[in-house]
Amino acid sequence: MLDQIHQSIDKLYSEMVEIRRYLHQYPEISFHETKTAAFIAGHYKKLGIPYETKVGGNGVIATLKGGKPGKTIALRADFDALPIQDEKDVPYRSKIDGVMHACGHDGHTATLLSLAKVMKDYQYELPGTIVFLHQHAEEYAPGGAKPIIESGAIDHVDAVFGTHLWATTPLGVLQTSKQAFMAGADRFELTIQGKGGHGAYPHETKDAIVIGSQLISQLQQIVSRRVDPLDTVVVTVGIFEAGEAFNVIADKARLVGTVRYINPTLQDKIISEMEAMIKGVCTSNDATYSFDYIKGYPPLINHASEAELLLEIARNIEDIKETQEVNPSMAGEDFAYYLLEKPGAFFFTGAQKHENPYPHHHPKFDIDERSMPIAAKTLIEAYYAYQEK
């Protein structure tokens, strides 16, 4: 049966590419994916598979109930894009100015839609129920996963599996972990209020740029001196805004950044250390400040048995040449929320395009589209294998 399903997936490859390239040309950013959601819903309407729209926001969930008893398993794909200008010179380049599928979510969607089309033909022989979970707003916290869960839409689900087409991993390689797989990802904003003045009279000012610079250096001590070296933490300041003229000392500075961590127990410690350092540096410079720490996605921690299942079923897929248990990625993923609620696992499907070796979130990002049928085969193999657990 699964060999036939694999063959059916391969036969849909050109259609899969067509769907992916259409979505690539018409991307929509997080929480604004109304046309994409309508496109997905239209696909299920044509297939005659029951679906719901506006799940937790712009989410779309389709349900294929098999002809045989079994478990209910969700397969998830996200479908939002990023506020990035597409700089690729390809026929399917984004037609929406300043918006781009720079992370492969178009490929995730094409994979799941095509798999749904294949499995509709096998519905009466199918054990259990497939939940095709199309999630909006993965790229921007609070994300789409949490409101979908809060809506009750997956309360009846026994397990959940998902993949990310990974552009820095070679085609034919599957990567996962039996424990932490991706990092917790938070955001912070800090505004420092000093006292501006003439560049020639620094003693009469409280230089917000100098104070901000001190803080950027100090914050790195959280990683190097306040956290166990065996724990992995990243504190990055990505925005530093201050000043308007070369001869004026700035009165205000704004710092925006991200914190990444693997150990869930570290989040409160990092927040406490940041607050203490910011207070100390600003107080010593007689400056005031406002600090806002926005908790984002928790670490993505796979369930060990479900991750092992992925590594085992990969042997059944001819296109997968290698499986790897890897160290956690410091990127974040709101698939983490599903794994806090249900058994399951997340994995990377190698999608590196040799002539376009750009990473995720890059203006020239692209994928090797041959990764999509590999992802589809892996998801459905995981579905069948979990039925036997």
- Residue ranges and CATH numbers for the domains of the chain are 2-181+299-387 (3.40.630.10), 184-297 (3.30.70.360)
- Assigned token pair, 148: 């979908």
Which pLDDT belongs to residue 355?
A: 86
Cα–Cα dist 386/159, whole Å:
8
Cα–Cα dist 195/270, whole Å:
29
Which pLDDT belongs to residue 356?
A: 86
Mean of all residue pLDDT scores within the chain: 98
Nearest CA to 90 among 111, 106, 108?
A: 106
Which pLDDT belongs to residue 259?
A: 98
User: 138 catalytic, yes or no?
Assistant: yes
Nearest CA to 347 among 47, 361, 317?
A: 317
Per annotation, catalytic residue among 138, 186, 207, 273: 138
- Tell me how far apart the terminal alpha carbons of the chain are, to the nearest angstrom: 18
Cα–Cα dist 218/162, whole Å:
38
Which pLDDT belongs to residue 357?
A: 86
Per annotation, catalytic residue among 28, 78, 80, 306: 80
User: 333 catalytic, yes or no?
Assistant: no
Query: pLDDT, tens digit, for every residue of 339-373?
Result: 999 999 999 999 999 888 899 999 999 999 999 99
Query: Which residue positions form the known binding site for Mn(2+)?
Result: 103, 105, 139, 164, 361
Query: pLDDT, tens digit, for every residue of 124-151?
Result: 999 999 999 999 999 999 999 999 999 9
* Cβ atoms of 9 and 372 closer than 8 Å: no
Confidence bin at 284 (pLDDT 50/70/90):
very high
Query: Which residue positions form the known binding site?
Result: 103, 105, 139, 164, 361
